[in-house]
Structure 1
């Protein structure tokens, strides 16, 4: 479902909240190319036209069941990034902290302990 930028961010916030206890949200971003462009034209003509067009970014998010998307224009990029960062900061407090695996400590064998004790007594 294609939404405007503000509606996308509010829907993304709801998506994060519904998956806060269990679940995953995938967010992807890629350059948006209009699908109505004619691909039968020569490559040089397409490159020339694409340089003249404003760059756009397609942002998609899904939790596996619900899909949302928006198109961000180059002029709106900084405002969208700022608002997207705020949504992430609010919702990323639910991340699990992975515990480090304890490193195996080697206990010295009784023979090495006896050798070091013998060296200390000889001196």
Structure 2
């Protein structure tokens, strides 16, 4: 299985496979149909408190990942739901942040590969 990462605002592609939105908030201006979103798993996204603390500041990246991974480990039901949805050869995690390097989709993929 291959997990790709893509901004939800980028055009959907047949190469995306199953498209899973991994943000807590629904992206502005995107409908489920237009975004071709197959699944929204907000329960595995960072908590509102963590999301606000992080603010996509690259200097907080390592600490953000440590806190987010702790949240994920304390949410086995959510993680199992995510793993059960990874049933296709290609999966694309969708996120809405402007930062393409330091976002929860990148961290989530890293968590799953550990």
Q: TM-score, normalised by structure 1?
A: 0.23
Q: Which has the higher contact order (CA 8 A, sep 6+)?
A: 2
Q: TM-score, normalised by structure 2?
A: 0.24
